[in-house]
Amino acid sequence: MGYLDGFKVTFAKLIEARTTTSYPEEKRDKPARLHGRHVLNRYEDGMEKCIGCELCAGVCPARCIYVRGADNEPGNPTSPGERFGFVYEINYLRCIHCDLCVEACPTQAITESKLFEFSFVNRSDAIYTKAELVVGDDGKPQHLPWEDWRPGEDEQTSAWMRATAPAGDASYEGEVAWSGELGYGVRAPELGQRGEDPEPPPVPAQADDHGGHH
């Protein structure tokens, strides 16, 4: 190939349609099942879902979760159970975002959002505490200074588990098996696991704020 042929290729590329995006101002849509930064959810009445059972910590293959439960105050309970998560920490220097903690949780307290772009200037910032993980009074995840949240990154969190709950069993596909969340209500299940979008499932039996059925 001569010199002129090389310039021809170069100039042709200058007028080609671009396939890249202007990152970080513009970002591509994230997959529905992307695993990102965790959140600790609340019931629709504002009570925390975490009961301090430590199952998430026990199942974590990276040993990045530390939980210590405490008894609820009878007159002012934090969760609807006997105990609540008094201490809850996730070390993001270790976390591999496998979602096993979400599968293990019996109360759907922990889910993973689609936020994956967060960086730290020191190691202590990488250890998220309960104060940072639990959702605010509006039910929305807290936005920390080093996190780059974009619209929709708190929607359909942990979609795979929502599609196949309980415990990832595919026979539950399309059924609403999660209790309502503060700020979101009862989230719709993910559809289309078998290659088609089935008709929406019938509305389940009326559930109380803490997952019980009437």
> For 174-188, how does the pLDDT look when each residue is reduced to its tens digit (9 = 90+)?
777 778 899 888 887
What sign does the dihedral 103-108-110-115 (CA atoms) show? positive
pLDDT tens digits for 25-70?
888 888 878 889 999 999 999 999 999 999 999 999 999 999 999 9
- Report CA-CA distances (Å) from 27 to 22, 39, 65, 106, 107: 7, 22, 30, 34, 33
Q: Note the pLDDT of residue 178.
A: 78
Residue 98 neighbours by CB distance under 10 Å:
14
Domain membership of residue 13 (yes or no) is no
**Model confidence at 87: pLDDT above 70:** yes
CA angle 195, 198, 201 (to 5 degrees): 140
Q: Which pLDDT value is given to residue 162? A: 65
* Average pLDDT of the chain to the nearest whole number: 83
Domain presence at residue 203:
no
Element (H, E) at 128: strand 127-128
Domain assignment of residue 189, yes or no: no
Instruction: Read off the pLDDT of each residue in 151-177 and give the average, rounded to a whole number.
Output: 71
Model pLDDT, residue 195: 45
Number of domains in the chain: 1
Give the whole-number percent of the chain exceeding pLDDT 90: 43
Q: Strand 65-71's sheet: what is its strand order?
A: 65-71, 83-91, 127-128
Identify whether 125 is part of a domain: yes
Query: Is the residue at 16 inside a domain?
Result: no
Model pLDDT for residues 108-140, shown as the tens digit of each residue? 899 999 998 888 888 899 999 999 999 999 999
Question: Alpha helices of the chain — where are they, by DSSP H?
Answer: 3-14, 55-59, 100-104, 130-133, 159-164
Structural domain including 136 reads 28-172
Indicate whether 146 belongs to any domain: yes
- CATH number of the domain residue 35 falls in: 3.30.70.3270
181 within domain boundaries: no
Task: Report the pLDDT value the prediction gives residue 68, as an integer from 0 to 100.
Answer: 95
